[in-house]
Structure 1
Amino acid sequence: MKMRSFGVATSWLAASVAAAALIAVPTAKAQEDFPTKPVEMTILFGGTAQTIGQLLADLMSKELGQPVVPVSRTGGGGAIGYSHVHSTRPDGYNIVWNSNSISSGYHQGNLPFNYEAFEPIARVTVEVPALAVRADSGWESLSDMVEAVKSGETKLKMGASGQGSFTDLTAKALFQELGIEDKVVYVPYGDGKAPVELLAGRVDAAIQWPGQFIPHVQSGDLKMLCVTGSERVEVIDDVPTCAEAGAGDLDITMWRGLAAPEGTPQEVVEKLQEAARKAAESDQLKDASGKLGFEISFMDAQEFGELIAKDDEVIAELLKSGN
């Protein structure tokens, strides 16, 4: 009886091993041949984030030999897009054009998962927010605006692309640094609408990516007072940093990159990483960076993962302290 039982168990084990081997071979082959169908890239925001993401998807398509299809899933400070990608299979066919928003969203309670729910693929660009006002506002510098706000009876109407968004947090950190946070009222608008709202007079100031403001600055309708990073942005190097303009040691920069659901095979991540690297080295992306005001700053998956973890700690501490 014992021998018969052992024989059944042995047969079952052998069958299981054989079945596992049959499954493993096609899985390994699928990873080796990746991609064999289109890859979907979720884009979380409008404006320059969408423009850059669409160009990146096109450039990566040429490297991968399969279409990389950009799909806009905006809303909730990135929560809608992150949630979608998080729910997909970890096979490399669903990726997200991500940013620091993964940490700000999680630590504000908008996401039930943090950055560890994704495999980093590569950082591609960095962007520095800019503060802009109408050219006819009479404010030639940041100090002009601060002085007017402090002495005025009405509050500064500040455009906000969404509560808890990266630019919203940047604005609040800037005004706290300037000591005028109690004299600011936030007026919500949709992604990419900052110039429209400024030009229409519905808001007095807005913080967004330089690429949204540059055409209107060139036409003489808007003026950028400062950028929030520690260094000036090359394409608008006549615009001072906010720290240079009197905002203490403010230094806020957004990175953008690619990530896939946790558990995506390493071989697949590496193929996506190399396609992103080739795109970052292309003349097309370099030309776009000069026009839109972002900087190409490639990091491979390992370096990018370390950066995300480090930034997550900083963002968590900032939000905890109320900054």
Structure 2
Amino acid sequence: MPVKLKTALIGAVAATAIATSASAQEFPTKPVEMTILFGSTAQTIGQLLADLMSKNLPEPVVPVMRSGGGGSVGYQYVHSMDADGYNIVWNSNSISTSFHSGKIDFDYTAFTPIAKISTEVPAIAVRADSGWETIGDMAADLLASGEKLKIGASGDGSFTHLTTEALLAAVGLSDQAINVPYDQGRAPVELLAGRLDAAVQWPGQFISHHEAGTLRILCLTSAERVPAMPDIPTCAESGAEGIDIEMWRGLAAPAGTPDDVIMVLQDAAEKAVASAEFQEASETLGFVPDFEDHAAFGELIARDDAIIGKLMADLGLKAQ
């Protein structure tokens, strides 16, 4: 190779490296848009996270609601964006339920994980005057009477729908239940109005009603009790053996987003999770701050996708 050409190529490579490094150091130079997939507790936590991350970045993180289709609407939007770090998604296990139910034609590998932020545990609640103290009581009563259970979740193929089906199977009510999808954030209203006998949703929707004595949270679906709600039993210990279901929430960007950009976002997220504001919000909303870096988060997503795919297939919810 001629010396001049070789020198020119070396210079070009060096210039590219310098430009890339400078770009990473400057990121972000404009607002970062965070797509939020769901309302209610997910929206509240996401908005708080965006605000706290903004305090640790030169440009704000702007939360934008793109709900619908069990998360598929938001995933499709972010998937279509450039992999430059300026469009990220407040994601969850819903990436797997959306894919395995056939709502999107790409799986979790279409995104680069940024960080795991929190864990939430679904809860099943009933009206306080139902006479049911535990999920075991509910199952025994219905199996003895033969009556149908009107139970709600936030949409077919959603994570709460998957949780509902797993709970019904665990207590022998799969053939004795009527699934009633409801709009986001309406679980307490539907229960109190008598349109539902039971509902599966995030504890944050039920806590104030549970404390007021109008609704009763029968159990939580995690393997162990949640520290913020120590008096509420797990479903496994109250009649639904084998139930161990949790939802993680985190941040992801389109696959191919540069590693150094991911690190900038990860660091801002870590500081947000460690803040007093985020920790205090977890007590009020009933979630668990649970930060993991992008590498550990990626491993979790892959493991969880395999578990969800099998569970959905076993329950007949997986697209053929």
Does the pair score TM above 0.5? yes
Structure 1 letter corresponding to 2:142: V
Equivalent position of 1:167 in the other structure: 160
Partner Cα distance (1:21, 1:88) in 2: 28
Aligned-pair CA distance for 1:268: 0.4
The alignment status of 1:119 with 2:112, answered yes or no, reads: yes
Structure 2 letter corresponding to 1:300: D
Partner Cα distance (1:14, 1:235) in 2: 63
TM-score (norm 1): 0.93
The answer on whether the counterparts of 2:32 and 2:88 sit within 8 Å (CA) in structure 1 is yes
Equivalent position of 1:3 in the other structure: none
Equivalent position of 2:73 in the other structure: 80
**Inter-CA distance 62–75: structure 2 relative to 1 (3 Å threshold):** same
**Alignment partner of 1:270: what SS?**
helix
Equivalent position of 1:268 in the other structure: 261
The alignment status of 1:201 with 2:185, answered yes or no, reads: no
Partner Cα distance (2:8, 2:142) in 1: 77
Partner Cα distance (1:193, 1:27) in 2: 47
Equivalent position of 1:106 in the other structure: 99
Equivalent of residue 37 in structure 1, options 20, 30, 37: 30
Partner Cα distance (1:89, 1:19) in 2: 24
Match runs of 1:152-301 below 5 Å: 152-301=145-294
Structure 2 letter corresponding to 1:231: E
Aligned-pair CA distance for 1:18: 7.1
Structure 1 letter corresponding to 2:190: E
Deviates more, 1:46-55 or 1:145-154: 145-154
Query: CA offsets, 1:195-247, max 9 Å, x none?
Result: 11111111110011111100111111100000000011122211110000011
Aligned-pair CA distance for 1:151: 2.3
**Alignment partner of 2:46: what SS?**
helix
Equivalent position of 1:151 in the other structure: 144
Partner Cα distance (1:107, 1:301) in 2: 23
Partner Cα distance (1:313, 1:143) in 2: 29
Larger radius of gyration between Structure 1 and Structure 2: 1
Partner Cα distance (1:142, 1:298) in 2: 31
The alignment status of 1:138 with 2:131, answered yes or no, reads: yes
**Alignment partner of 2:119: what SS?**
strand
Query: CA offsets, 1:145-176, max 9 Å, x none?
Result: 11221123431111120101001100100110
**Inter-CA distance 118–222: structure 2 relative to 1 (3 Å threshold):** same
CA RMSD of superposed structures (Å):
1.9
Partner Cα distance (1:23, 1:302) in 2: 26
Structure 2 letter corresponding to 1:147: A
**Alignment partner of 1:63: what SS?**
coil
Partner Cα distance (1:134, 1:16) in 2: 72
Query: CA offsets, 1:88-140, max 9 Å, x none?
Result: 01111100000011111111111111111111000010001011001111112
Structure 1 letter corresponding to 2:246: T
The answer on whether the counterparts of 2:153 and 2:181 sit within 8 Å (CA) in structure 1 is yes
| Count of matched residue pairs | 315
**Alignment partner of 1:216: what SS?**
helix
Aligned-pair CA distance for 1:64: 0.8
Partner Cα distance (1:88, 1:28) in 2: 22
Structure 1 letter corresponding to 2:113: P
Partner Cα distance (2:283, 2:146) in 1: 40
Equivalent of residue 311 in structure 1, options 304, 307, 312: 304
Partner Cα distance (2:12, 2:53) in 1: 36
Structure 1 letter corresponding to 2:107: N
The answer on whether the counterparts of 2:136 and 2:240 sit within 8 Å (CA) in structure 1 is no
Equivalent position of 1:60 in the other structure: 53
The answer on whether the counterparts of 2:134 and 2:239 sit within 8 Å (CA) in structure 1 is no
Structure 2 letter corresponding to 1:270: M
Structure 2 letter corresponding to 1:235: A
Structure 1 portions without partners, runs of 5+ = 1-5
Aligned-pair CA distance for 1:27: 4.2
**Alignment partner of 2:132: what SS?**
coil
The alignment status of 1:49 with 2:46, answered yes or no, reads: no
Aligned-pair CA distance for 1:290: 0.4
Aligned-pair CA distance for 1:69: 0.5
Structure 1 letter corresponding to 2:161: D
